[in-house]
């Protein structure tokens, strides 16, 4: 009997990604692959598109959707479901799990005429309760990596076919994706994969082997468009399958599972694919939430909004009270819920070759969605609460224009500063941390995803990137106080060599007083007071005299450092966001023409402003890259200063 080969290809774009980026992926990968597949009448495929991308294609390329619908109707292609906004399903509220799964199933049925049987699991993040979650949504099967099943005790030589698993008495089928095929397709010579399949067929006649991976590998990754299409890799691969049709037959997963039994029952531990677990630092995807406070801030803000949504829903249904009629209130709550669902898109919560945590643009999109939901719900009173779920307290203050989260445990700083009407977190930065691959920057690993050799030949400027490797002792925030012991220079600030009092810079402050517009924090004889008044935020500090200069540091990220409409203005002169240096006293303004927003900083008695752009060095599938993570702006007072204040006025 012929070996059954299931090719399962997954296409995804983060919600809110630039149209130009999605368009480029369409022309380089999505369109040419589907056209190549459609030209082979014998070929059977299983495809998955995240919901945002599927609706984007329907709007921008309806002909592509029509072609896909025709292939579905001809029973040549099966389209899988999953979470509409591609969330890490295990990490979101139970009601959102069902909503995400149902929204994508409805979208697939509406656009392509068939309701999906299977579901793609974002980043193959598995937790043991998921069988019940999937079964409740009508999902019959999902795809995992073969490493998942090996972790459950199944021998590598037995990883063909599929298994059944369950939780709470509800079952779902799990199909292992073959590691060797994922590594070789499409990067190794096509006959290596054909020979591998032929050998597997001789060992296990009639068995199923599955290869599930990203559709973007077929043209959107660097240099793969030429390799896959122009140089003919895909044509030769399809030719090879066709030439061995008696020994290898392609199948849709749903068809195979409908006619062949499961190989048994299995219970899978928490996990994901091996690379993801290495990036997370342990066997649990949630390791990213402990490793990166910035990811945890977004994740726990989701949950806070979910609780507020539940409360608003109960009030709307139970009493009909409020300024809006009950029907309108329901519509508003649904709009807020959709914004939270969009913020659950997985990319921004992790980092590896593809994770978007290091991308300020994607973090900005997530913050914008969360703030959109926030704006639709009633404002809470000033709060002191454990937002992060880690035992530390944050203080939330609001005005009609601004919202800020103060972290008393981290030097009494502001970790989030929102311009509410713009749905923008103006800090949105990232602490620069050592990453395991930084050690490889000078030596190797320029081609971590094993791209075609032409990609490996184009080495990035390793020397220049290596100069950017600086590691922050504290999270990047606003309002950090540096009381220096010696006469530090701008170069010391730039290279993180300030001889500052660590207790004041990053130690825990006690909350001395809190009202609707003010928060007063104290550590020893040092007092920090935040005063909020509509579009103005003032930070006042009283401290003992310091032997060296005293700095108050603010971080602002206007996202596009090379855009002409983003700049720092001082003394009538504008400087781009990549500018670094020292400026004299007087007001300093940061302007964001894209949002039409600006902030003016005033600090009396200072001797200078120090401005330093912040860059991270991260790794993508093609190699290393740098990302602008905002600018640190420090007001600098001379030694001996005991009272200082920065006044910030925000305009939109």
The dihedrals phi and psi of 183, each to the nearest 5 degrees, come to: -75, -35
Between 345 and 327, the more confident residue is 345
249 with 304, same domain: the answer is no
In a domain, 83, yes or no: yes
Contact indicator for 614, 629 with CB cutoff of 8 Å: yes
pLDDT-based confidence at residue 440 (cuts at 50, 70, 90): confident
- For residue 455, pLDDT beyond 80: no
In a domain, 383, yes or no: no
In a domain, 600, yes or no: yes
Looking at residue 187, which CATH number applies to its domain? 3.20.110.20
Radius of gyration of the chain (CA): 27
Question: Where among 253, 280, 307 does a domain terminate?
Answer: 280
316 with 251, same domain: the answer is no
pLDDT in tens, 281-334: 888 999 999 999 999 999 999 999 999 999 988 876 554 444 444 555 889 999
For residue 277, give the nearest of 129, 142, 410, 123 by alpha carbon: 123
Question: Where among 264, 280, 296 does a domain terminate?
Answer: 280
Residues 6+ apart with CB under 8 A from 115: 81, 105, 108, 109, 138
- For residue 619, pLDDT beyond 90: no
225 with 305, same domain: the answer is no
In a domain, 437, yes or no: no
Q: Which entry of 106, 214, 247, 602 is annotated as an active-site residue?
A: 214
pLDDT score for 450: 59
344 with 407, same domain: the answer is no
318 with 220, same domain: the answer is no
pLDDT in tens, 202-261: 999 999 999 999 999 999 998 899 999 999 999 999 999 999 999 999 999 999 999 999
Active site residue 123: yes
Rounded Cα gap, residues 442 and 453, in angstroms: 19
pLDDT score for 95: 95
pLDDT score for 320: 45
For residue 484, give the nearest of 496, 469, 472, 468 by alpha carbon: 496
What strands, in cross-sheet order, belong to the sheet with 643-651?
A: 510-514, 518-523, 526-533, 536-542, 643-651, 597-602, 588-592, 566-570, 573-576
Pinpoint the alpha helices (H) of 320-381: 326-343, 360-376
pLDDT score for 449: 57
193 with 259, same domain: the answer is yes
Q: Locate 222 and state its tokens.
A: 């660097």
In a domain, 438, yes or no: no
DSSP state of 639: T
In a domain, 463, yes or no: no
Residues 6+ apart with CB under 8 A from 300: 387, 388, 389
Full-model pTM: 0.93
DSSP state of 162: -
| Stretch 343-361: mean pLDDT | 90
How far out from the chain centre does Cα 352 lie?
10
Category of 113 on φ-ψ map: left (φ > 0), alpha (ψ -120 to 50) or beta: left
pLDDT score for 448: 56
pLDDT score for 537: 98
- For residue 445, pLDDT beyond 60: no
User: CA separation (Å) from 136 to 133, 166, 268, 346, 515?
Assistant: 5, 12, 19, 22, 46
Rounded Cα gap, residues 295 and 286, in angstroms: 10
- For residue 621, pLDDT beyond 90: no
209 with 325, same domain: the answer is no
User: Could you please report the per-residue DSSP string of 58-102?
Assistant: HHH-HHHHHHHHHHHHTTSEEEEEE-TT-B-GGGS-HHHHHHHHH
**Total domains present in the chain:** 3
| Stretch 253-271: mean pLDDT | 96
Angle between helices 51-60 and 94-112 (to 10 degrees): 30
pLDDT-based confidence at residue 444 (cuts at 50, 70, 90): very low
Strands 3-11 and 208-214 come out as parallel
pLDDT score for 317: 57
pLDDT in tens, 476-531: 999 999 999 988 899 999 999 999 999 999 999 999 999 999 999 999 999 999 99
Average pLDDT, the chain: 93
In a domain, 462, yes or no: no
Structural domain of residue 325, as residue ranges?
286-378
pLDDT-based confidence at residue 465 (cuts at 50, 70, 90): confident
DSSP state of 268: P
Rounded Cα gap, residues 539 and 647, in angstroms: 7
Contact indicator for 212, 252 with CB cutoff of 8 Å: no
Rounded Cα gap, residues 639 and 527, in angstroms: 18
Which range (54-58, 168-172, 459-463, 645-649) has the least confidence?
459-463
Active site residue 544: no
In a domain, 445, yes or no: no
Question: Where among 219, 245, 280 does a domain terminate?
Answer: 280
For residue 48, give the nearest of 130, 96, 116 by alpha carbon: 116
pLDDT score for 421: 96
DSSP state of 585: S
218 with 309, same domain: the answer is no
Q: Which entry of 99, 123, 213, 374 is annotated as an active-site residue?
A: 123
Category of 82 on φ-ψ map: left (φ > 0), alpha (ψ -120 to 50) or beta: left
182 with 311, same domain: the answer is no
pLDDT score for 451: 64
252 with 363, same domain: the answer is no
529 with 639, same domain: the answer is yes
pLDDT in tens, 171-192: 999 999 999 999 999 999 999 9
360 with 345, same domain: the answer is yes
DSSP state of 440: G
């Amino acid at each position: 009997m012929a070996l059954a080969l299931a090719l399962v290809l997954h296409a995804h774009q983060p919600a809110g990604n630039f149209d130009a980026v999605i368009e480029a992926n369409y022309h380089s990968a999505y369109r040419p692959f589907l056209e190549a597949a459609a030209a082979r009448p014998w070929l059977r495929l299983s495809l998955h598109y995240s919901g945002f991308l599927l609706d984007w294609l329907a709007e921008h390329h309806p002909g592509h959707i029509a072609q896909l619908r025709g292939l579905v109707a001809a029973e040549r292609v099966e389209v899988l479901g999953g979470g509409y906004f591609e969330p890490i399903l295990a990490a979101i509220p139970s009601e959102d799990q069902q909503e995400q799964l149902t929204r994508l199933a409805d979208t697939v049925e509406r656009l392509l005429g068939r309701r999906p049987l299977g579901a793609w699991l974002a980043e193959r993040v598995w937790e043991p309760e998921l069988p019940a979650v999937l079964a409740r949504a009508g999902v019959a099967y999902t795809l995992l990596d073969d490493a998942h099943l090996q972790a459950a005790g199944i021998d590598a030589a037995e990883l063909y076919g599929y298994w059944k698993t369950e939780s709470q008495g509800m079952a779902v089928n799990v199909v292992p994706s073959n590691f060797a095929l994922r590594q070789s397709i499409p990067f190794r010579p096509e006959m290596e994969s054909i020979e591998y399949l032929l050998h597997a067929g001789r060992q296990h006649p009639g068995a199923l082997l599955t290869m599930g991976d990203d559709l973007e590998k077929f043209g959107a990754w660097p240099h793969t468009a030429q390799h896959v299409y122009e140089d003919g890799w895909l044509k030769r691969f399809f030719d090879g399958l066709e030439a061995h049709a008696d020994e290898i037959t392609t199948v849709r997963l749903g068809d195979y599972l409908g006619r062949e039994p499961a190989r048994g029952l299995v219970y899978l531990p928490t996990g994901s694919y091996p690379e993801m677990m290495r990036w997370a630092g342990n066997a649990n995807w949630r390791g990213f939430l402990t490793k990166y406070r910035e990811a945890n801030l977004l994740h726990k803000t989701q949950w806070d909004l979910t609780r507020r949504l539940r409360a608003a829903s109960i009030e709307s249904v139970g009493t009909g009270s409020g300024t809006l009629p009950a029907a309108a209130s329901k519509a508003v709550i649904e709009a807020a819920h959709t914004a939270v669902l969009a913020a659950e898109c997985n990319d921004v919560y992790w980092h590896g070759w593809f994770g978007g945590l290091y991308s300020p643009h994607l973090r900005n999109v997530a913050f914008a969605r969360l703030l959109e939901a926030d704006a639709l719900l009633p404002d809470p009173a000033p709060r002191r609460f454990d937002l992060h779920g880690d035992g530390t307290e944050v203080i939330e203050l609001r005005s009609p224009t601004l919202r800020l989260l103060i972290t008393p445990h981290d030097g009494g700083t502001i970790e989030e500063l929102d311009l509410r009407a713009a749905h923008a977190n103006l800090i949105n930065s990232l602490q620069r941390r050592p990453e395991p691959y930084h050690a490889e920057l000078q030596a190797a690993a320029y081609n971590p995803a094993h791209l075609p050799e032409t990609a490996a030949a184009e080495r990035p400027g390793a020397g220049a990137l290596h100069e950017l490797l600086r590691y922050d002792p504290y999270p990047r925030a606003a309002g950090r106080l540096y009381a220096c012991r010696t006469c530090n220079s701008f170069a010391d600030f730039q290279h993180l060599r300030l001889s500052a009092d660590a207790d004041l810079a990053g130690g825990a402050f006690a909350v001395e007083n809190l009202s609707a517009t003010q928060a007063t924090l104290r550590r020893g004889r040092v007092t920090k007071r935040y005063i909020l008044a509509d579009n103005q935020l003032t930070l006042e500090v009283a401290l003992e005299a310091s032997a060296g200069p005293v700095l108050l540091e603010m971080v602002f990220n206007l996202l596009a450092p090379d855009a002409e409409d983003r700049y720092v203005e001082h003394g009538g002169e504008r400087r781009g966001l990549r500018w670094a240096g020292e400026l004299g006293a007087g007001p300093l303004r940061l302007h964001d023409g894209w949002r039409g927003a600006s902030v003016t900083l005033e600090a009396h008695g200072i001797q200078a402003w120090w401005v330093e752009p912040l860059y991270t060095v991260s790794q993508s599938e093609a190699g290393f890259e740098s990302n602008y993570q905002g600018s640190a702006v420090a007001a600098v007072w001379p030694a001996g200063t005991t009272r200082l204040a920065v006044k910030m006025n925000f305009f939109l």
